[in-house]
Amino acid sequence: AQSVTQLDSQVPVFEEAPVELRCNYSSSVSVYLFWYVQYPNQGLQLLLKYLSGSTLVKGINGFEAEFNKSQTSFHLRKPSVHISDTAEYFCAVSDLGGATNKLIFGTGTLLAVQP
Amino acid sequence: NAGVTQTPKFQVLKTGQSMTLQCAQDMNHEYMSWYRQDPGMGLRLIHYSVGAGITDQGEVPNGYNVSRSTTEDFPLRLLSAAPSQTSVYFCASSSWEGGTEAFFGQGTRLTVV
């Protein structure tokens, strides 16, 4: 069974400051890793994903994430946030080589960007 | 392309009533799924389908039924609504293959009183 842990339920940060949202996962098999973003009153959309290869992946809106296999982590970073980045961010995993695209989500981190 | 369309956007039900949440996608995706989102609990998988005529249970299936008669549609039925089913429901679709992007609908906010 897989599980995803997002330790921070809320991260307040000032505009133009850097931010890191933490994600750790547990799985008995190799996994794909994702970050999705949910803006207020909207559905989720994909920020970035790690499938294989380079452990540093870049996504939309200036976000990037680093896969660390030994620490089973996939932390999301942005060097300078904007007010418009205020949203809830979800880390998710799915089985590598699985027969479905079943996603298991973490509990989410609310990024609150203050002026 | 409309993507994934969910209806209704909002619904209030009385305990014991039944209803169907609709989900349709126009991307010819094989894989469709239903999640519920509750504060502090993230998204939890209710049911999923890998193609027409094939469905399976997710993490929290009790109280919900699904069917998949066409590739495009994946309705979620609440048989006898309970206050514990008050939640925001999201439908998603993607290719069946792991690692592909999932596309989400805008959600249905359901309140059971």
- Span A6-27, pLDDT tens digits: 999 999 999 999 999 999 999 8
Q: How far apart are CA B67 and CA A104, in angstroms?
A: 22
Question: Does pLDDT of A55 surpass 70?
Answer: yes
Q: How far apart are CA B46 and CA B90, in angstroms?
A: 10
pLDDT in tens, B29-85: 999 999 999 998 999 999 999 999 999 999 999 999 999 999 999 999 999 999 999
Question: Does pLDDT of B100 surpass 90?
Answer: no
B100 contacts in chain A (CB < 8 Å):
101
Terminal alpha carbon distance of chain A: 41
Q: Does B99 touch chain A (CB under 8 A)?
A: yes
pLDDT in tens, A33-51: 999 999 998 999 999 999 8
Question: Does pLDDT of A97 surpass 70?
Answer: no
Report the pLDDT value the prediction gives residue B1, as an integer from 0 to 100: 64
Q: What are the C-alpha distances in Å from A86 to residues A34, A36, A65, A72, B54?
A: 19, 13, 18, 26, 38
A100 contacts in chain B (CB < 8 Å):
31, 48, 50, 96, 98
Q: How far apart are CA A29 and CA A32, in angstroms?
A: 10
Report the pLDDT value the prediction gives residue A30, as an integer from 0 to 100: 83
Q: Are B35 and B64 in contact (CB under 8 A)?
A: no
Distance to chain B for A86, nearest Cα, Å? 17
Distance to chain A for B12, nearest Cα, Å? 17
Report the pLDDT value the prediction gives residue A1, as an integer from 0 to 100: 76
Nearest CA in chain A to B89: A43
